[in-house]
Amino acid sequence: MLTIDLTAIQANWLKLRTLGNGASIAGVIKANAYGLGAARVGNALYDVGCRAFFLASIDEALAARDYLPPSATIYMLGGMNSGDESDLISAGVIPVLCSQQSIRCWANANATLGTKSPCAIKINTGMTRFGLDIPEFESLCADTKLLQAINPTLCMSHLACADEQDHRLNVLQRDKFARCAGLIKSVLPGIHLSLANSSGIFLGCAWHFDLLRPGAGLYGINPVPGKPNPMRGVVHLSLPIMQIRKLDESAAVGYGASAVLPKGSRLAVVKGGYADGLHRSLGLQPEGILCGQHIRAVGRVSMDSTVFDISAIDLPDDLLMREQIEVISDRLSVDYLAQKNRALGYEVLTSLGARYERSYVASSL
């Protein structure tokens, strides 16, 4: 059972808003809200005041237009392909334009359709992924006619190292973005500015500008690694026990016979394997909690099942078969698993398979 605490997500958004020094705060719900269910998460965020949402692809963005209220502002982050323009304009989705080609396509679409549909512009300030390079951005700012044709309402960039608060690139990116902001503000005084992701919010108000774009922090991932996590945990994953075995003699366990357990060992075979996200992000030997006791998986994780050594738990089989093994919980947090297994919190969440039964909980804040 995969349990998602919508109240915790709301509380995390509200906490980040208090740190924003007056900046607006969006919600990043791309990749199906990091695997947790974009429709449920998006509407929960809307209920506490979130009005701007960032998705990654046209499919995600158009779907969000259907499940979010009409007043929600929807941005598409992942770059726009030629031919997508009319669908985006029709749906009122704002594309984040990252290249000169996409800018020309958006200008042509507005001219052809007789619209002034808005866009966002992304600048590469040091991530070297999506975005206009600085000379390209300067040329755009000098072309008043083109700016009017694409109608940009947001100018943004993305921090590469915000989770390392002392990294020199944080200041370099902020300063580059501030210079670019001054340039476009001189032409479009009303345009909004956005730089900070979850970790960027904790760098300080100099990184905040007009709009904050938290993603990971909403879902309980620590935005300040190495310090206590200021975010509430969101996810709890427990796996049902399908079979209990007691070894009458020493035996190998799993593919490749990579583990051999002695006579008398007791094993619990649970429903859930690497097809469900129990892979590197949870460790080569995932950990678990059963009846309050810490246990470990043995042998290779299979596609659909995992085997845990429960030899230390002295309860009858019929009672244990009613229990489930926790693999993500307050005691085995996403950050603990990510740090221990050299994964990213994003990997842990987005790997959680679609086969899990999802349960949403909510209570008053």
Q: Crossing angle for the helix pair 58-67 and 38-47, nearest 10 degrees?
A: 50
Q: Give the span between the Cα atoms of 307 and 270, in whole angstroms.
A: 6
Phi, psi of 307 (to 5 degrees): -115, 130
Q: Is the distance from CB of 207 to CB of 197 less than 8 angstroms?
A: no
**Residue positions annotated with a catalytic role:** 30, 255
CA gap 264, 276 in Å, rounded: 30
Phi-psi label, residue 322: left if phi above 0, alpha if psi -120 to 50, beta otherwise: alpha
Residue 348, C-beta contacts closer than 8 angstroms, at least 6 positions apart = 277, 281, 282, 328, 334, 337, 338
Distance CA 211, CA 214 (A): 10
Q: Which amino acid is at 195?
A: L
Return d(Cα 333, Cα 338) in angstroms, integer: 9
Contact yes or no for 159/124 (Cβ under 8 A)? no
